[in-house]
Chain A
């Protein structure tokens, strides 16, 4: 019987001929924790009697969610992470280095065919590189740090076939928001999502990360894609720390069994917006165009990459952000910030009125860097718009592409970016 990408990776990493619903213990290629989850993982590590992190070069802690620290309590937790990483000779990416989900692929820790856990739900991002990467909690991370292994129930898979090419002004963010709206917030729960088709093939690797990143917003355990020439070129360019580790990509078999196969025509897609307070509350931009906004956010692990900044700068260059809008820009990593500086993008954005914050998670999760006031509307390139997500349960968050966020920042209301992208 043929296998899906998930079945193949979990088979190889467990040494078992594994199919959907089998329980396996598999060897991990990389383990990651961030500053919201690592402190509890360190505590669990100690409770488990952990002495040493196995293969510490295949593990990293990232200080990104609350960085630099806004209060003493956070400073103490950051201190705990730094001390643990030093003691265990693990990598610790400190403040300003970037968002964990940009750093893991960018630093070359993850590649095609890998099996990765991260104590952050958006770990599924690396599926764009053909890695089975999934979010876990702190205790699972601790067990993974000690043993180098993790148990998995092999998930069934749901396949999204995206035909056609995205029109001008419509991006991978619009596509994934649309797909989530179609299947809803639990449409892929316990499943691995596979994304394929002409529309996916045509995307850059940066744009594919956006799609894999949001697989969790439909409940999926992983968001997987095949490794094509673009992926291999990307991996070669970013393989600094993977050393001599070889990657072995997997493709699904033609007779693999899927729980569902859904086909869409990306060629007809319009810009999409997820309305408060649910990621699956999605509509074409026409339905919300004109809604006033007070804050716009460009960044996060979903859309803080160089291509995203380029798209936004293309719209904002030589213009001014609306006087009643705060535009906050958080590049996803130091490398991206430097690249954007080299290209003059940061100058364009800052001259247009943007407030630049430290590479990292920015205001996405309500820890710092721009908490909205009561009754305010925010348009953001992030992946979640839950009530209270940005630390104020009386604010309203709309999710959209970098182009839609940039266009909306200019006009002060939710705006169709196709007017600006010719």
Chain B
């Protein structure tokens, strides 16, 4: 899987309340509506600026806080192609894979907003096309790669009827 897009940069400890506020997420199952408010408390214009396939770049502990799956779903529905961060909070990480949003653990310190990036998940490398730099990425555990490849956990379950971890 290869993903290419423009970088949008955020800091460390971006929590799920910032990704999608509780005041919106309890009201609806319409993820397109939630996508209009994604990252609103950190960057009110993000939802209008983000283009399909763009990449969210962050510092460590991305997605800390609540278990709301609306967080990866709002990012996906806003068009975000993947999130890149040095580390992720555990529940967000699982939710992202389960819903089909690629999450990439790597050093993001050299990336600036607007950089054109190419993520090569199979070969475990991030190419910064703007800066002509390469960074290794931490490979996803085999089972999670399988779930992501299936299109998320719902599709995985439809296919196997259970967790196929072997």
Contacts and interface: CB of A to CB of B under 8 A. Distances in A.
A185 B155 CA distance: 33
Interface in A130-147: 135-140, 142-143, 146-147
B94 interface: yes
A139 B29 contact: no
A142 B154 contact: yes
B90 A151 contact: no
B95 A137 contact: yes
Contacts of A48: 153-154, 157-158
Contacts, number: 151
B21 interface: yes
Given A40-B29, A74-B26, A389-B22, A149 B17 contact: no
B64 A221 contact: no
Interface stretch (B66-74, B113-121, B123-131): B66-74
Given A137-B98, A219-B61, A37 B69 contact: yes
A274 interface: no
A389 B141 CA distance: 33
Interface in A366-385: 366-367, 371, 384
A153 B152 CA distance: 18
Nearest to A65: B26
A189 interface: yes
A41 to B, nearest CB: 8
Interface centre among A74, A139, A366 (most CB of B within 10 A): A139
A391 B22 contact: yes
A31 B100 CA distance: 23
B41 interface: yes
A352 B91 CA distance: 41
Interface of A: 23, 25, 35-37, 39-40, 43-44, 47-49, 65-66, 71, 73-74, 77, 118-121, 123, 135-140, 142-143, 146-147, 149-151, 153, 185-186, 189-190, 216, 219, 221, 278, 365-367, 371, 384, 386-389, 391, 393
Sort A-B residue pairs by CB-CB distance and give the 5 closest, nearest first. A137-B95, A73-B27, A137-B69, A186-B61, A391-B23
17 contacts: A39-B29, A47-B158, A48-B158, A65-B26, A73-B28, A77-B27, A121-B67, A121-B91, A137-B95, A139-B152, A151-B143, A186-B61, A189-B61, A189-B89, A365-B22, A391-B22, A393-B41
